[in-house]
Every structure is written in C-alpha cells, then in structure tokens.
Structure 1
Amino acid sequence: MAAARESLLDAALTALDRRPWPTVRMVEVAAAAGVSRQTLYNEFGGKDGLARALVRRAADGYLAGVERALAGTGGTWERLTATAEWTTTAAQGNALVRALLTGCWNERLPRPRPDAPRVPAPRRAERPLPTPPELVRMVRDRAVTALAAPGTGRAATAELARSCELVVRLALSCVAAPPAEGGVAELVRAVAPRSPR
C-alpha cells in the first residue's frame, strides 16, 4: 500500500499544481494514481486526510533537506549557511513548505483543519502538523545536535542554540523578502563573526 499512497500523494500534488485545492476532486486524484476511489478513502479517510498527508510529506521533505545540509562537509557556519540556503530554496520551490514555514496559507493550498476528525490509521501514528514556531525549534534543535561537539558545556550549547535559531530566522526573512543571488550566504556570514564558532 505504500506505493499506492505515494502515487495518490503525487497525483494530488500534480492536481494542486494545476488548480486550487478546493476544486481538486478525489475521483480525479484516484484515477490519476491508477487506484480506486475506495483505495484513496481507505488510505486517507477523505479530502482533509489527503490534505494533511500532503502537508505532512512537505514538512518531512523539508526536514530531510535540513538533515542533509547539516550533515554536509565544512564547519559550523558552512553547514548553517547550507541549512539557510536550503530553507529559502525549499520555500521558493514548494508553496506548501512556504506556508508551513510562514503560516501564510492561501485559498489555493490544502490547509487541513486542526479540528477535523481523524480516521484511525492502524498502520501509522498520525503526528500533528508542525506550526511555524515548532518548525523553527525543530530545525534549531537538529542543528544543535548535528553541530555541538561531544562534551560541549551547557553555556556553549545554549549559545550555539541561539546562533542556530538566528540563522533559521534569518533564512525565514529571506523567504519573505528574497535577497539578491548569493545573499543568503552573505547574510549568514555577516552574523557569523559575532557568534561563537
């Protein structure tokens, strides 16, 4: 069923690229994925469940990119720069990631209702969708985990956490007001000398 689930999410995303979410029909998504409408309903419970899964996949994809950036080569500030650049690139290339990071949803996007009843999914535990502040904390915490040297003291870890959060918030400002080519790296370098390495 994992293949059918991914096919359905891909078909829903393709439909979303063509028209606003309110006009996307479940029967069309199922047909485009090559499965029955009942399979779609069994997998997601309804359109809100499909929307929730689309947004969850966007969040997970963004966080996987953060992990890749943090696992790269270079020192602390090179990897934080890569994370900031990934954040702006991901948000510019994916409207769902941009909405997740900024909290700015529009009528074209699927915005799952937080109060919607959930259909039990025995194969998967459904996690709540992250809010923008939660995403900032997730990225900050992953950066601290990836960048803190073994045996780093509390004060140094707290300072690293502040620096990581600063870089994430700097990247978010670049999502709202994109800088010129190469501007994200320049902005991160501008704050690096004033922060611990």
Structure 2
Amino acid sequence: MPAARESLLDAAYAALARRPWSAVRMVDVAAAAGVSRQTLYNEFGSKDGLARALVRRETDGYLAGVDRALTGHGDPRERLTATAEWTVAAARDNALVRAVLTGC
C-alpha cells in the first residue's frame, strides 16, 4: 500500500494547491490517485488523518534538507548559510512548509 499512500498524498497536495483545504473533497483525492474512496479512508481514517499525514510528509522532507545542509561539508558558517538557503527555498516552493514555518 505504500505506492497508493504516496499517490493519495500527492493527489491531496495537488488539490490543496488549487483550493483551500475546506474545499478539498475526499472523493476527488481518491479519484485523482486512482483508488477508491474506501481505500483512502482505510489508509488515513478521515480527512484530518489525511491532513496530518500530508503535513508530516512535507515537513519530514523539509527537515531532511535541513539535516543535509547541517551535516554537509564546510565550516559551521557555510553549513548555517546552506541551511538558511534551504529554508528559504523550501518555504518559497512548498506552501505547507511555508505555513508550518510562519504559522499561517
């Protein structure tokens, strides 16, 4: 089920890019992922469960980038600069990461 889970999260992310979360419909997410609505509910339990999983996936990706920047080559100043650059890029490119970092 990992492939279906990722497809569902991708579909939810794409839906969220087009409309506010309150307007995202589970049936539309399932259809976009090519699975049944029941599969979506079996995987996440509810719309809130889907939201939590989506935020977790996106923030995990952001934090992995922070880890790479902090453990990269160079002196501490270069690593901190790389971390700041990664943070700005991640916030610019990912609305969920931006919302987590800014609180809005």
TM-score for both structures, normalised by structure 1:
0.51
- The structure with higher relative contact order (CA 8 Å, sep 6+) is 1
User: Which residue of structure 1 lines up, in the alignment, with residue 20 of structure 2?
Assistant: 20
Q: Does 1:58 align with 2:58?
A: yes
Give aligned pairs, total. Answer: 104
User: Which residue of structure 1 lines up, in the alignment, with residue 40 of structure 2?
Assistant: 40
Question: What is the CA deviation profile of residues 52-84 of structure 1, one whole-angstrom value per residue up to 9, with x for unaligned ones?
Answer: 111111110110110111222211110110001
RMSD of aligned Cα (Å): 0.9
Matched to 2:44, the amino acid is F
Q: Distance in 2 between matches of 1:27 and 1:96?
A: 22
Larger-Rg structure: 1
Q: Distance in 1 between matches of 2:4 and 2:90?
A: 25
Q: Which runs of 5+ in 2 are unaligned?
A: none
Does the residue aligned with 2:73 lie in a helix, a strand or coil?
coil
User: Which residue of structure 1 lines up, in the alignment, with residue 82 of structure 2?
Assistant: 82
User: Which residue of structure 2 lines up, in the alignment, with residue 68 of structure 1?
Assistant: 68
Matched to 1:16, the amino acid is L
User: Which residue of structure 1 lines up, in the alignment, with residue 2 of structure 2?
Assistant: 2
Identity rate, percent: 80
Higher helix share: 2
Question: What is the CA deviation profile of residues 118-144 of structure 1, one whole-angstrom value per residue up to 9, with x for unaligned ones?
Answer: xxxxxxxxxxxxxxxxxxxxxxxxxxx
TM-score for both structures, normalised by structure 2:
0.95
User: Which residue of structure 1 lines up, in the alignment, with residue 93 of structure 2?
Assistant: 93
> Which aligned runs of 4 or more in structure 1 are off by greater than 6 angstroms?
none
Q: Does 1:31 align with 2:57?
A: no
Q: Distance in 2 between matches of 1:98 and 1:17?
A: 13
Q: Which runs of 5+ in 1 are unaligned?
A: 105-197
